[in-house]
């Protein structure tokens, strides 16, 4: 009896996104940071829902009790109380969705502007590119935070104004990145084929070039979130951010700066929250960057 060896089935090559994800998963620090980002997102979403349902957990973040003011961490108030007797843990958890909302939505606004501007400049080139990039260079001459501070001071402190201003000011780096990607990709064979088939600029930009530039844009988006969070915290600390009694990590620190020698927990715990959030996003973004650069070197 003749036996034949079965022909091995060739594995289907993974997509570029799949290969990038495989490389990212090997980075233990990146995976740990991504897990922390996911945990922060879940916490922010849960406490946003509880706040909208009117369910105070673990306590009402705005409830004052002057008899329990400036208490250190204890069995009832795990992270202590502030100068008005409000529970610090409740205010930290309640303020998490404010900080993360500002981070995500401001980055979405920034990406929408930056990707559009950079794509137009990089694809059309010539005088369009020169005009747009001179405008970008002029905007980048101004320090970003002071530009945000000035705009918020003129418009008034509110979460909507903060999100819009951060988004409108911080798109220039994304525009330069996308422009560089488009300058390289617009001469690719598939773009030339699309032009030969009579496809117009907008379709080529959004259907053919932009998906191939998605990886560095994703890295930029992830790295932009902690910058927006730190900007919001800085504005709130200076009194130009979200106004009390709404809790944010920045204004909790601002309320506690007067009592820094007597109530260390008012500075330490919100500062750690900002540090953990920003560091988690930065490490995730750096791991993604390394995965993207590895893909580029091998391609």
Task: Check if the beta carbon of residue 291 is closer than 8 Å to that of residue 34.
Answer: no
Give 12's pLDDT tier (boundaries 50, 70, 90). very low
Q: Is residue 270 part of a domain?
A: yes
More confident residue, 231 or 186: 231
Q: Is residue 251 part of a domain?
A: yes
What is the rounded average pLDDT for all residues in the chain? 86
- Could you give the maximum distance between any two Cα atoms of the chain, in Å? 93
- Supply φ then ψ for residue 78, to 5 degrees: -60, -30
- Mean of the pLDDT values across residues 225-237? 92
Q: Is residue 18 part of a domain?
A: no
Q: Is residue 129 part of a domain?
A: yes
> Domain of 134?
26-54+75-298
Identify the pLDDT of residue 291: 86
CATH of the domain at 244: 1.10.3720.10
Number of domains in the chain: 1
Residues of the chain with pLDDT > 70, as a percent, come to 92
DSSP, residue by residue, the chain: ----PPPPPPPPPPPHHHHHHHHHHT-HHHHHHHHHHHHHHHHHHHHHHHHHHT--SSS-TT---GGGTTPPS-SSSTT-B-TT--BHHHHHHHHHHHHHHHHHHHHHHHHHHHHHHHHHHHHH-HHHHHHHHHHHHHHHTS-HHHHHHHHHHHH-S-HHHHHHHHHHHS-HHHHHHHHHHHHHHTTSHHHHHHHHTT--HHHIIIIIIHHHTHHHHHHHHHHHHHHHHHHHHHHHHHTSSSPTTS--HHHHHHHHGGGTTT-THHHHHHHHHHHHHHHHHHHHHHHHHHHHHHHHHH-
Q: Is residue 230 part of a domain?
A: yes
Q: Is residue 217 part of a domain?
A: yes
Identify the pLDDT of residue 23: 87
Candidate from 117-121, 125-129, 264-268 with smallest mean pLDDT:
125-129
Q: Is residue 260 part of a domain?
A: yes
Identify the pLDDT of residue 11: 46
Give 212's pLDDT tier (boundaries 50, 70, 90). confident
Q: Is residue 1 part of a domain?
A: no
């Amino acid at each position: 009896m003749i036996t034949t060896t079965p022909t091995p089935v060739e594995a289907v090559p993974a997509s570029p996104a799949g290969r990038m994800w495989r490389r990212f998963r090997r980075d233990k620090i990146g995976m740990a940071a991504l897990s922390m980002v996911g945990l922060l997102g879940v916490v922010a979403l849960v406490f946003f829902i509880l706040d909208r349902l009117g369910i105070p957990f673990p306590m009402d973040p705005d409830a004052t009790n002057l008899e329990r003011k400036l208490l250190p961490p204890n069995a009832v108030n795990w992270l202590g109380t502030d100068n008005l007797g409000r529970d610090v843990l409740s205010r930290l958890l309640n303020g998490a969705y404010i900080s993360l909302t500002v981070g995500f939505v401001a980055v979405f606004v920034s990406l929408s502007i930056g990707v559009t501007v950079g794509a137009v400049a990089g694809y059309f080139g010539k005088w369009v590119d020169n005009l747009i990039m001179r405008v970008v260079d002029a905007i980048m001459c101004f320090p970003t935070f002071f530009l945000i501070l000035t705009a918020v001071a003129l418009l008034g402190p509110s979460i909507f104004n903060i999100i819009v201003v951060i988004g409108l000011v911080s798109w220039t780096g994304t525009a330069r990145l996308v422009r560089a990607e488009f300058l390289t990709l617009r001469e690719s064979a598939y773009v030339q084929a699309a032009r030969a088939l009579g496809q117009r600029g907008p379709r080529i930009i959004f259907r053919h070039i932009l998906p191939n530039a998605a990886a560095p844009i994703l890295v930029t988006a992830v790295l932009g979130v902690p910058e927006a969070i730190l900007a919001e915290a800085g504005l709130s600390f200076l009194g130009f951010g979200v106004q009390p009694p709404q809790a944010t990590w920045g204004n909790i620190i601002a309320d506690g700066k007067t009592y820094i020698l007597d109530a260390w927990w008012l500075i330490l715990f919100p500062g750690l929250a900002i540090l953990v959030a920003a560091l988690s996003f930065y490490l995730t973004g750096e791991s993604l960057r390394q995965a993207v650069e590895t893909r580029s070197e091998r391609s």
